[in-house]
Structure formats: structure tokens, C-alpha cells
Amino acid sequence: MNDLEFVRRCVKGDKRAWNEFVERYSSLIYNYIHSVLKIKGHTYAQENINDIFQEIFLSLAKDNFKKLGSFQARNGCSLASWLRQVTVNFTIDYIRKLKPLISIDEETDDGFSLADLLSFDSPSVTDVLSQEERLTHLKDCIAKLALDDKYFLELHIHRGLGFEELKACFKISRPALDMRKFRIIERLRACFKSKGFVLPGEK
């Protein structure tokens, strides 16, 4: 049975064929995910990798296997090669979506917010900045952080994870987490200061 016939069996709802598909291509897809993340220089928690893996299979089976059914074996393309491209595209899209979506004023459980780092009465800032402009400066400074630091902000501020959950994600101690948070704050403060902002305590 060739690849196209195999896919058609899956699309028609053959459970045995689908189970065989999952068993046959799980390792391949999982390895491709790791390869893309490695090439892109990204390191994510195992939970994120599992999310990508599961969502790829869900996307293939969604709407009566519409995505999987689009495989046509054109130009001698094998199912494995086609799945590789699907996995690469899906993983890259996932990375883009995981960029920190952080509110300046949103506080964590310990009362920390990024707004605490900003003051807008610097002589070099002649006009009051709009929220959009503030976010632009914030995103620019966050973009300069290391990937792990961006991930910390995403989890701690946007997703609201507490320190016990963060310890499990990063596999480091509470003092090490506190130090990471302190260093991130200092890096952001330095970035904001370079843009002409007066920082609290430095007037």
C-alpha cells in the first residue's frame, strides 16, 4: 500500500489506519519539532514541546482529516517528507505566537508590574507617551532580552505562574528564580534609561 492509499484510508475514518499512522509517524514528527527548535536556537519547556506535538496531530485530524487529506504525493513527495514540512511550518508558527504578550500595568501575585520600572517625566521625553508608544518601547526592550528571560516574563506576568510552578518549569531553586527576576528587571531598567526615561529612585 503506497502513501496516498494509506492517507485515503485514514481520511475515510479507518481507525486501524489512523492508529498505524500515529504509531508510525509520532517519532518522526517529535524529532522534527526538536530539530526546528534547535536550529532556531529556541529552548522551551517539555510542556510546550508536547503542545506542539499534540496540536500537529489535532490539526491533521481536524474537520474530518481535511489537512491530512490535502496530501497528494505530487512530484514523488513521500508522506514523511510532507509531514516534515507540515511540522516545520507549524513549529515556526508556534514560536511566533509564543512571543510575550505582556501588559505594562498587569501585576503578578507579588505586586510586581513592568509599569513600576517606567517614569515619563524625563526632560528628554517632552510629551506624555500614549499607551501604544509605551508598549512599543517595552516590546523593544523585551526583544533585547535572552530567550529564557522572555520566557520567564511570558510565564510569570502574562500567564500568571507562581514561583512554585516556575521552579518546575525552569528546574531551578527559588533563590535562583529570584536572581533571574532581579537580573531581568535590571536589564529592562538599563534599556529604559538608555531611551531617556527617568527611573524610580534615580531622579
The CATH code of the domain that includes 185 is 1.10.10.10
Amino acid 128: pLDDT: 45
- Select from 49, 7, 53 the least CA-distant residue to 28: 53
Question: In the chain, what percentage of residues exceed pLDDT 90?
Answer: 22
- Select from 87, 98, 113, 109 the least CA-distant residue to 28: 87
Same domain for 14 and 88, yes or no, is: yes
Same domain for 71 and 145, yes or no, is: no
Average pLDDT, the chain: 76
Q: What is the pLDDT of residues 64-117, one digit of tens each?
A: 899 999 998 887 889 999 999 899 888 888 877 665 444 444 445 555 556 555
- Select from 196, 185, 187, 191 the least CA-distant residue to 120: 196
Same domain for 90 and 120, yes or no, is: no
Can you tell me whether residue 172 is helix, strand or coil?
coil
Same domain for 91 and 32, yes or no, is: yes
Mean pLDDT over residues 178-185, rounded? 86
Task: State the residue for C-alpha cell 513527495.
Answer: 77
pTM here?
Answer: 0.49
Amino acid 190: pLDDT: 85
Amino acid 22: pLDDT: 93
Amino acid 173: pLDDT: 84
For residue 77, what is the DSSP state?
Answer: -
